[in-house]
Amino acid sequence: MSELGHKAEIMDEQAMGRAITRIAFEIIERNKGTENLCIVGIKTRGAVLGNLIANRISHIENKRVERVELDTTPYRDDRDSREGRDVLSGLAGFVVDEKNIVLVDDVLFTGRTVRAAIDAIMDCGRPRRIQLAVMVDRGHRELPIRPDFVGKNVPTSRNEKVKVLVKEIDGENKVFIIDEK
């Protein structure tokens, strides 16, 4: 990682595991159980973290939790075209009406990815509520979006990047701050 300007490791595997467990318990508590609960992981690392959280909730409550992977690309406001909105991967046949949706992403930065995810979900129906869980909240919001569940708050500068690594993709669970000079 040194070639990327690695600055500091802010979470190791144990810290990430504890954060996932804490977030799972907080989700159960805030939603008074798992009735109508669905975990929606934002592709790519948010989907992995969403699965980990859903698995932890299922283990705690001894009940399978619905989970969906969401690709927000067609809903991004930085795209020239809005083509493909009707073919979002993972949402075909997904019923959101009256569900308690928990969006999961790896890092919350400007809030634009979360806004895109909310737009995608709302195109599928009317959930009872949408909540947000993130492994890292790094600040610098451009939209009025706030996470309900946070693994770690990490104040950063604009020239830094937070990189979440997950075993399923990167071979290890860690969170780093990287300089982007």
Nearest alpha carbon to residue 96 among 66, 132, 52, 74: 66
Confidence of residue 174 (pLDDT cuts 50, 70, 90): very high
Whole-angstrom distance, CA of residue 75 vs CA of residue 103: 15
CATH code, residues 2-77+87-175: 3.40.50.2020
- The per-residue pLDDT for range 86-114, each reduced to its tens digit, is 544 556 678 899 999 999 999 999 999 99
DSSP 8-state symbol, 146: -
Give the residue carrying structure tokens 């798992």.
34
Annotated domain spans of the chain: 2-77+87-175
Q: Which residues contact 157 (CB under 8 A, 6 or more apart)?
A: none
Helix, strand, coil shares of the chain as percentages rounded to 5?
35, 30, 40
Residue 102 tokens, joined:
């928990």
Average pLDDT over residues 135-143: 95
Instruction: Considering only CA atoms, give the Rg of the chain.
Output: 16
SS3 call for 25: helix
- The per-residue pLDDT for range 12-31, each reduced to its tens digit, is 999 999 999 999 999 999 99
